[in-house]
């Protein structure tokens, strides 16, 4: 398996990413993206009571009760930003407990791979082995990595205009600037550098400035 770039330490921030084997798609439609987001929410909780696949077999009332309990459960990591792309994903995480990110990502990747394989009648690996993680060493880098993640659908050509990012459901960008059906991010560390949501949106949309800083964070990327 590919080695991580660094050890994972509590209270530090990490850019975490992985992609499909041979860069093949790992999401084929809305149902896949939605499944991934919900698995992410579920397995970030330290005290999840059953596997996510079993959770889905429960009644609506039972699922609501478990979600309510999990909302108060300790989290393996704070999710700062995320983006799911057709053949890869990015997460910006702060580890909260020992081995938190490793346990979180192992459960997430295993659960999603099993779902995808059953749905598509396939076997074997879906992702390129173990996730990669790179530590973010400063507040400035944290902001730029968050922006890099939120710009990914635009810079990769999945959406044509930066304004289209506001309607890209499978990223946390809308959660930051307009609100989202998925409210799962810990946003205060990013908001602390901006007076309001509009200023963060302008920061992300400022593509020229982004290009200037990209060279400074290239070691945090895998593209």
Residue 6 covered by a domain: no
26-30, 128-132, 219-223: least confident range: 219-223
Cβ within 8 Å of residue 167, ≥6 positions away: 174
63-67, 84-88, 155-159, 172-176: least confident range: 155-159
CATH of the domain at 36: 3.30.70.1290
Q: Do the Cβ atoms of 146 and 80 come closer than 8 Å?
A: yes
pLDDT value at 149 more than 70: yes
The domain in which residue 83 lies consists of 13-220
Residue 89 covered by a domain: yes
Q: Using the structure block, give the residue that is written with the tokens 């979180």.
A: 104
pLDDT value at 15 more than 80: yes
- Token pair, residue 46, equals 């330290």
pLDDT value at 215 more than 50: no
The count of structural domains within the chain is 1
Q: Using the structure block, give the residue that is written with the tokens 């939120």.
A: 150
Q: Do the Cβ atoms of 79 and 186 come closer than 8 Å?
A: yes
pLDDT score of 207:
61
For range 175-186, the mean pLDDT: 87
pLDDT score of 44:
98
- Dihedral of the CA atoms 25, 221, 80, 85 (nearest 10)? -20
Spatial distance between the Cα atoms of 156 and 5, rounded to a whole number of angstroms: 24
Residue 90 covered by a domain: yes
pLDDT value at 146 more than 90: yes
Q: Count CB-CB contacts under 10 A for residue 219.
A: 10
Spatial distance between the Cα atoms of 207 and 168, rounded to a whole number of angstroms: 17
Residue 3 covered by a domain: no
3-state SS class at 190? helix
Q: Do the Cβ atoms of 111 and 43 come closer than 8 Å?
A: yes
Q: Do the Cβ atoms of 159 and 181 come closer than 8 Å?
A: no
Residue 214 covered by a domain: yes
Residue 127 covered by a domain: yes
Cβ within 8 Å of residue 45, ≥6 positions away: 70, 73, 74, 75, 76
Residue 8 covered by a domain: no
């Amino acid at each position: 398996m590919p080695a991580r770039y660094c050890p994972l330490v509590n209270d530090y921030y990490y850019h975490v990413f992985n992609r499909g084997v041979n860069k093949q798609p790992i999401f084929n439609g809305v149902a896949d993206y939605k499944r991934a987001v919900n698995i992410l929410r579920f397995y970030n909780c330290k005290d999840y009571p059953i596997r996510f696949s079993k959770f889905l077999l429960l009644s609506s009332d039972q699922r609501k009760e478990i979600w309510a309990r999990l909302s108060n459960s300790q989290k393996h990591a704070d999710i700062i930003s995320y983006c799911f792309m057709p053949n890869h994903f990015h997460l910006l995480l702060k580890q909260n407990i020992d081995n938190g990110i490793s346990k979180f990502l192992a459960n997430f990747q295993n659960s999603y791979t099993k779902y995808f394989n059953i749905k598509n009648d396939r076997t074997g690996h879906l992702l390129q082995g173990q996730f990669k993680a790179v530590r973010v060493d400063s507040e400035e880098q944290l902001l730029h990595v968050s922006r890099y993640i939120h710009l990914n659908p635009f810079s990769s050509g999945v959406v044509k205009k930066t304004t289209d990012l506001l309607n890209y459901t499978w990223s946390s960008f809308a959660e930051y600037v307009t609100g989202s059906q998925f409210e799962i991010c810990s946003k205060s560390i990013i908001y602390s550098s901006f007076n309001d949501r509009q200023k963060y949106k302008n920061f992300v949309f400022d593509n020229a400035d982004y290009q200037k800083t990209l060279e400074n964070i290239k070691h945090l990327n895998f593209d």
